[in-house]
Amino acid sequence: MTPEISIVIPVYNEEESLPQLFTELYPVMEKMQRNYEIILVNDGSRDKSFSLLYDFQKMHNKNVRVIDFNGNFGQHMAIMAAFSNVRGKYIITLDADLQNPPAEIPNLIQQMDDGHDVVGTYRENRHDPIFRKAASKIVNKITNSITGLHISDYGCMLRGYSRRIVDIIAHSDESTTFIPALGQKYAVNPIEIAVKHREREFGESKYSMFRLIRLNFDLMTSFSLSPLQWVTMSGIGISILSFILVAYMVVRRFVIGSEANGLFTLMAIQFFLTGISIMSLGIIGEYIGRIYKQIQKRPRFVIKKIWEENADEEDN
Ligand code: UDP
Ligand code: MG
């Protein structure tokens, strides 16, 4: 029987959260009385996650599929792999750590029944420190203006997509990407709804500050060239200003004669400009790095095995 709803969940070292996720998710899905499948992607977990997923799959053989990766390819690639394998008409993504309550799923399905092809969400009463929320607000604003998209909350992964959108995303051949932004880009009739948000109860966030910055660069570089254009524009602006400064200095040299004062001002300006140059090189480098990855044409993710109904035990 083809499922109508596909639930997609990326899993990376979530052994503490998984038991409760299963306990909460399963009744929600059963209660809707529609055909469904749950696709769990094990993104190279090093803890007991896989054996928990395996047991869950065996227990609910008809409804649950587990895609087991060869290593850690990141949250967005895990979702991408599931998108290439979904069977449902409506696809819902959510995190394994229960920060997105499964009880919200029927609300998203309702919106899709109403004809929306992408259902975005924003976190109501987000349970995070105040400075993180403030930082997100700024990041959301800047990202919207860079990408030209309108998403209120880039960090919320509880989202619904119609099969048409998921197929487009699965066929986009980018080696690094940001799924919600892709979905929004191709949406014809999107909507955003508020969802509840919980603190992470078990385990810890899989994103260090460094990984978060990397992820934001993925988002920025795959959806916009404007950072490159800023580099060019600021280069032009700085050249014009320094040309005026040089002209002014030359005139002063003739009028007043040589001066050694103002050395520190000059150094300050110099340091500032050096900072800008290094940053600009970095931005250009971010794009070049991604072009490099893209032309290598390595697989974006490697699947070890898909565990599903009738999957053969022996060939593993
Ligand atoms: N995740 C993943 N691969 C990774 C990092 C994270 O599959 O390399 C999964 C993780 O298990 C969780 C979801 O992506 O289900 C979101 O991760 P997390 O909760 O750590 O992110 P945060 O909520 O802190 O942004
Ligand atoms: Mg989380």
Per-residue 3-state assignment (H helix, E strand, C coil) for the chain:
CCCCEEEEEEECCCCCCHHHHHHHHHHHHHHHCCCEEEEEEECCCCCCHHHHHHHHHHHCCCCEEEEEECCCCCHHHHHHHHHCCCCCCEEEECCCCCCCCHHHHHHHHHHHHCCCCEEEEEEECCCCCHHHHHHHHHHHHHHHHHHCCCCCCCCCCCEEEEHHHHHHHHHCCCCCCCHHHHHHHHCCCCEEEEEECCCCCCCCCCCCHHHHHHHHHHHHHHHCCHHHHHHHHHHHHHHHHHHHHHHHHHHHHHHCCCCCCCHHHHHHHHHHHHHHHHHHHHHHHHHHHHHHHHHHCCCCCCEEEEECCCCCCCCC
User: How many C-beta atoms lie closer than 10 Å to residue 164's C-beta?
Assistant: 13
Whether pLDDT at 315 is above 60: no
Measured from the Cα of 204, ligand 1's closest atom is 20
10 pLDDT band (50/70/90 cuts)?
Answer: very high
pLDDT of residue 313: 61
- Paired with 36 in beta bridges are 5
User: How many C-beta atoms lie closer than 10 Å to residue 279's C-beta?
Assistant: 13
The more confident residue out of 309 and 8 is 8
User: How far, in Å, is the centroid of ligand 2 from the Cα of 131?
Assistant: 17
**Helix 263-296 vs helix 209-223: crossing angle, to nearest 10:** 70
User: How far, in Å, is the centroid of ligand 1 from the Cα of 215?
Assistant: 12
- The neighbourhood of ligand 2, an ion, using CB within 5 A, equals 95, 97, 99
Pocket-forming residues, ligand 1, beta carbon under 6 Å: 10-12, 14, 43, 72, 74-75, 78, 95-97, 99, 155, 205-207
Reading the block at residue 208, the tokens are: 């260090």
For the chain, what percent of residues have pLDDT higher than 70?
Answer: 98
Measured from the Cα of 73, ligand 1's closest atom is 8
User: How far, in Å, is the centroid of ligand 1 from the Cα of 251?
Assistant: 60
For the chain, what percent of residues have pLDDT higher than 90?
Answer: 57
Nearest CA to ligand 1 atom 14: 75
Whether pLDDT at 144 is above 90: yes
301 pLDDT band (50/70/90 cuts)?
Answer: very high
Average pLDDT over residues 170-190: 92
pLDDT of residue 4: 97
pLDDT of residue 267: 79
Whether pLDDT at 102 is above 60: yes
Measured from the Cα of 13, ligand 1's closest atom is 11
pLDDT of residue 174: 85
Whether pLDDT at 258 is above 90: no
pLDDT of residue 312: 66
What pLDDT digit, counting tens, does each position of 189-245 carry? 999 999 998 888 888 888 888 888 888 888 988 888 888 888 888 888 888 888 888
User: How far, in Å, is the centroid of ligand 1 from the Cα of 13?
Assistant: 9
24 pLDDT band (50/70/90 cuts)?
Answer: very high
Average pLDDT over residues 7-28: 97
User: How far, in Å, is the centroid of ligand 1 from the Cα of 234?
Assistant: 36
Reading the block at residue 7, the tokens are: 């639930």
pLDDT of residue 150: 92
pTM (predicted TM-score): 0.86
314 pLDDT band (50/70/90 cuts)?
Answer: low
User: How far, in Å, is the centroid of ligand 1 from the Cα of 74?
Assistant: 8
The residue to mutate among 12, 80, 215, having the most atoms of ligand 1 within 8 angstroms of its beta carbon, is 12
pLDDT of residue 216: 87
